[in-house]
Each structure stands twice: as C-alpha cells, then as structure tokens.
Amino acid sequence: MSELTRETVEAAIKEYVEPHLGRDLVSTKSVRTVEIEGDQVKVGITLGFPAKGAASGIAEAVKQHVEALPGVSAAQVDVDWEIRSHSVQKSLKPIDNVKNIIAVASGKGGVGKSTTAVNLALALSAEGAKVGILDADIYGPSQPRMLGITGKPESKDGNSLEPMNSYHLQAMSIGFLIDEETPMIWRGPMVTQALEQLLNDTNWSELDYLVIDLPPGTGDTQLTLAQKVPVSGAVIVTTPQDIALLDARKGLKMFQKVEVPVLGVVENMSIHICSKCGHEEHIFGEGGGGRMAEQYGIQLLGALPLDIHIREETDSGKPSVVADPESRVSQIYREIARKTAAKLSLQAKDYAAKFPRIVIENN
C-alpha cells in the first residue's frame, strides 16, 4: 500500500476541475492545507472568489476524490474564500477601499445591461462579497429606481459623498443628485468629469467588488471612461441577434485596446418561455453569445431568459436576486456572479499596496 503524502492527496484533488474556474484547485493554488492522520485526511481550500452557493458542492467533490485514494477511510474538506485586489490598466492606480472594479458594458442600448449589472452586484453580495454599484450611465441613470432608493446622499465633510445603501449594496448614481425626469444635457467632457467625481469622491467602505454600470455604446465617453477608471475586468451584455452582437464585438475590442481583460459575455433574453403554455422560442435568434465567446476566446458566463418577472421585479425596485432568491433566474445570476469572480481571481494580483512608497528628499 502506497504511503499517503500531501503529493498523493493533491494528485487526487487535481483530478477535479472546479467548474467556475475551469481549472483544478491545485494549479490555481487554492489548496491551503492538507493534514494526514493515519487513514484520515483534512483538506483546507481557499478560493479567490465568493462561493456561498457552491462551497458545499465543491467540498463534496474534493472529498469524493480524496476518499477514492487507497488507504483513506474518511476525508474532511473545508472551503472558504479570500478576495484579493487584481491589477488594473498600467497608467492607473486602484481606488482606496475598492479591491476590484468590474465594468458592465454593452455595445448598444436596450439589451438589459443595467438589469444585468444590478443583479450581478446583488448576486456577488449573496455569494459572500462586500459589493458596491456605481451607475455611470449619466444620461439615463436607472439604478436608483432599480434599487428602490429615494433621497439624496449625505456629505459629512462637504467634499465627499456617503454611498446610499440598499439590499447590502453601497450605491452611487448621478440619479441621486438630480430629479428623475431632468434630462442631462451635457457634453462628453462634463460627463466624464462627473463620473470621475462620483467614483473618487464617494466614501466606499472596504469593497471587494465595485460594479460599474457603463453607458451603452463605444463612443468617446465610453473610451474615456475605460481609460480613466481603474478596471480589473469587464463583462459584456448582449442579446442573441446579429445587430446586438455586432455592437457587442465593438465593446469587446474597445476593452482590449485599453488593456482591460474581458471576463466574459452574458447573453440576455436568450429564450422566451410562454407563461401560458410553457412553449420555448428563440425570439432573438439562438446561440449568438456562445458563438461570440468562442470566436474571441472568452467565456459565456450565462444565458438569461426573456422573462416578464425580471422586468416587473426590477421596475418595482426589488431586482430578481432579492425578490425571489430561489428562482431559476436568481440561480442563473448567482452562477454568472461566481464565474465572473472566478475568472477575475485568475488574473494577475495587484501587489502595489504591499510595497511602501519610497520618497526621496533633498536635505
């Protein structure tokens, strides 16, 4: 009988490909501890992404692989997570108290980008992360309505704003500062300046992720934002039809140009399920998001149905993930959140905070 060692246990764990990472837990350096006492093994796994809804499944899968080893009578597997800061565009430095910024973008309007952004933020929170959302859609801010927030943010020092809170999310939007029906008749430079102020002058509190709901399109405003906001990764939202995909590809290429990694694509309104008879129909075409993901070597993070409840719940200020946490749609959003955060966890870490600043003075 071969002797049990950390190496043999890790070799067994390596056989299991974690579905959100798409890789094994050994090569991603997620195996923290391996303790062997006779024929009993204790394994500690620390993931780089929040996984409240998947931790028990991951633990069970690892346990089965370890217990399949000859000489092992029982295995105990504990799974937790630690979210690190990841690197941003070379010319920018991360924002204080925000570990990672995830931009949610779309090439065109009307594809459900804001709905996806708010549910992604809520799903990351439900998975165990500390999350904020910044509504950067200056011309059409919708997050105040979607999160059911009224009133104006406070300023304790007259210079910075306190984020508004809803469903454990920290939120900031130009919509908190103006009347809902007031049109923003601003030129591009004013928009980018306003966004930079909202981002930098908000007292975010120890966020793991800040989700930014970007304006639709790939014009001057979006490009400036992509160059000035320190983003760790981007998510592209599209619908399956060719016109939306055409614009989504432009969004993807814009992020590639400014060296922001695209974490994946979300296909919205992918299938319509008739509420009367249950008939399923691909109203906007089929599999477009998947084909785009394959073409550009990125991940299809998930596909969401065209569902009246998503619209009703978001319009009423209680998005799907909090309105009905056990629904199929909420589970899809949570899977998208885990995959997004897992993909981000594989990016390069940001070590800048660990190094002291060196100041040279002439005495």
Examine the domain organization and report whether 52 and 112 are in the same domain. Answer: no
| Residue with the two structure tokens 């949570």 | 334
Binding-site sequence positions for ATP: 107-114
Residue 75 lies in a domain: yes
Q: What percent of the chain has pLDDT over 90?
A: 47
pLDDT for 51: 95
The beta strands (E) that lie in 256-299 are given as 262-267, 272-273, 280-281
**One domain for residues 135 and 181:** yes
pLDDT at residue 238 in the model: 87
For residue 359, being part of any structural domain is answered with no
**Can you give the pLDDT at residue 352?**
55
Same domain? 34 vs 176: no
Residues 64 and 158 placed together within one structural domain of the fold: no
CA dihedral 306, 232, 226, 264 (to 10 degrees): -30
Does residue 352 form part of some domain? Answer: no
Q: Residue 357: pLDDT band by 50, 70, 90 thresholds?
A: very low
Q: Is residue 329 part of a domain?
A: yes
Rounded to the nearest integer, the mean pLDDT of the chain is 86
Q: Are residues 53 and 181 in the same domain?
A: no
Same domain, 212 and 244: yes
**pLDDT score for 57:** 96
Which band of pLDDT confidence, cut at 50, 70 and 90, is reported for residue 30?
Answer: very high
Return the minimum-mean-pLDDT range out of 103-112, 153-162, 202-211. 103-112
Indicate if 249 and 336 belong to the same structural domain: yes
- Give the structural domain span for 16: 6-81
Q: How far apart are CA 13 and CA 65, in angstroms?
A: 6
Assign residue 252 the CATH number of its domain. 3.40.50.300
In angstroms, rounded to a whole number, what is the distance separating the alpha carbons of residues 330 and 117? Answer: 13
Q: Which residue has tokens 């809520």?
A: 122
Considering only residues 306 and 128, tell me which one the structure prediction assigns the higher pLDDT.
128
Sign of CA dihedral 351, 35, 341, 242: positive
Instruction: Determine, yes or no, domain membership for 222.
Output: yes
In a domain, 91, yes or no: no
Confidence band for 355, pLDDT divided at 50, 70 and 90: very low
Q: Nearest Cα to 123, choosing from 359, 293, 355, 333?
A: 333
Domain-embedded: residue 358: no
Instruction: For residue 299, give the H/E element and its range.
Output: none
29-33, 64-68, 166-170, 249-253: least confidently modelled range: 249-253
In a domain, residue 231? The reply is yes
Region 266-286 average pLDDT = 77
Question: pLDDT band at residue 251, thresholds of 50, 70 and 90?
Answer: confident
* CA separation for the pair 101, 103 (Å, rounded): 6
Shared-domain flag, residues 54 and 170: no
Q: Write out the binding residues.
A: 107-114
Verify that 19 and 144 share a domain, yes or no.
no
Rounded to an integer, the average pLDDT of 216-230 is 77
For the chain, the domain total comes to 2
Domain at 43, CATH number: 3.30.300.130
Query: Do 48 and 191 share a structural domain?
Result: no
pLDDT at 191: 77
Percentage of the chain surpassing pLDDT 70? 91
Residue 360: per-residue pLDDT: 56
Nearest to 38 by CA among 67, 72, 2: 72
pTM of the model: 0.89
Q: What is the pLDDT of residue 1?
A: 45
* 355 or 303, higher pLDDT: 303
pLDDT at 184: 66
Q: Specify whether 77 is located in the same domain as 175.
A: no
User: Looking at the predicted structure, is the pLDDT value of residue 358 above 80?
Assistant: no
Edge-first strand listing for the sheet containing 262-267: 164-166, 169-173, 131-135, 207-213, 98-105, 233-238, 262-267, 300-303
Residue 40 confidence (pLDDT) above 80 = yes
Q: Are residues 238 and 267 in the same domain?
A: yes
> For residues 284 and 245, what is the distance between their CA atoms, to the nearest angstrom?
11
Domain end, chosen from 54, 81, 108, is at 81
